[in-house]
């Protein structure tokens, strides 16, 4: 299904409610993007992001389930799954940290480079998973642009949100038309894919 075939769900929420969406980002979401680039190149081409963030803030990278040590050699292909995390605690965090001293301990599950997955440059789909501080820092950027998730997954997520969160939603539109939060779950449950766009309008305009 192409992105334009999926219904668009737009939600306007207060800034302090945005973290409520971060667990959804950790579960994985799809974006249409340029592929055939190294991870460093891809970051550098994303509006609002740059390669410095990848180098300085992202400490753990998994590409298709394999730990990445060198973002200049990891190539994003169509359909790839990319997981990004800040530093994780303990031995697990130290072992999977990119270029860390314990990297040799997980050599068999490390990403080897361009030869691991030949890729053709062009447009494609990338599945992203964002965790902890990475979700907090760049997650809002992707939410404001729009992400694609399975309708059933989104419906299940919305059911977990507390009543206070639901009351604080300022505007909800599905397919360009206003819809009540209470009607969302049944409306989304059978949709193969949904485009979700979350905005935080200025609370003090002017």
Instruction: Report percent pLDDT > 90 for the chain.
Output: 61
Least confident of 15-19, 50-54, 202-206: 202-206
User: How do the domains of the chain map onto residue ranges?
Assistant: 1-24+139-206, 37-120
User: What average pLDDT does this structure show over 8-23?
Assistant: 95
Pairwise CA distance, residues 33 & 129, whole Å? 15
**In terms of Cα–Cα distance, which of 16, 4, 2 is closest to 168?**
16
pLDDT tens, 55-89?
888 988 999 988 888 888 889 999 999 999 986 54
Residues 6+ apart with CB under 8 A from 97: 59, 60, 87, 88, 103
Query: Which pLDDT score is estimated for 177?
Result: 96
Q: Render pLDDT for 162-187 as a digit per residue (tens, 0 to 9).
A: 999 988 998 999 999 999 998 999 99
Tokens 């599945």 sit on residue:
127
Query: Going by C-beta distance under 8 Å and a sequence separation of 6 or more, which residues neighbour residue 107?
Result: none
pLDDT surpasses 90 at 107: no
* Residues above pLDDT 70, as percent of the chain: 80
Q: Give the pLDDT score at 111.
A: 43
Q: Provide the whole-model pTM.
A: 0.81
CB 11 within 8 A of CB 199: yes
């Amino acid at each position: 299904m192409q992105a334009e075939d999926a219904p668009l769900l737009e939600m306007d929420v207060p800034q302090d409610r945005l973290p409520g969406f971060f667990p959804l980002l950790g579960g994985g979401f799809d974006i249409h993007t340029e592929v055939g680039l190294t991870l460093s190149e891809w970051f550098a081409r994303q509006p609002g992001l740059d390669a410095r963030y990848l180098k300085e803030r992202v400490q753990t990278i998994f590409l298709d389930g394999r730990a990445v040590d060198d973002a200049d050699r990891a190539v994003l292909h169509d359909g790839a799954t990319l997981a990004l995390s800040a530093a994780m605690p303990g031995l697990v965090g130290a072992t999977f940290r990119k270029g860390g001293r314990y990297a040799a301990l997980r050599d068999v599950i490390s990403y080897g480079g361009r030869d691991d997955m030949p890729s053709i440059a062009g447009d494609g789909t990338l599945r992203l998973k964002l965790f902890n501080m990475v979700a907090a820092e760049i997650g809002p950027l992707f939410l404001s642009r729009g992400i694609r998730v399975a309708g059933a997954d989104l419906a299940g997520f919305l059911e977990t949100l507390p009543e206070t969160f639901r009351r604080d939603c300022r505007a909800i539109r599905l397919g360009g038309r206003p819809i009540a939060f209470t009607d969302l779950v049944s409306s989304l449950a059978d949709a193969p894919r949904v485009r979700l766009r979350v905005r935080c309008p200025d609370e003090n305009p002017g």
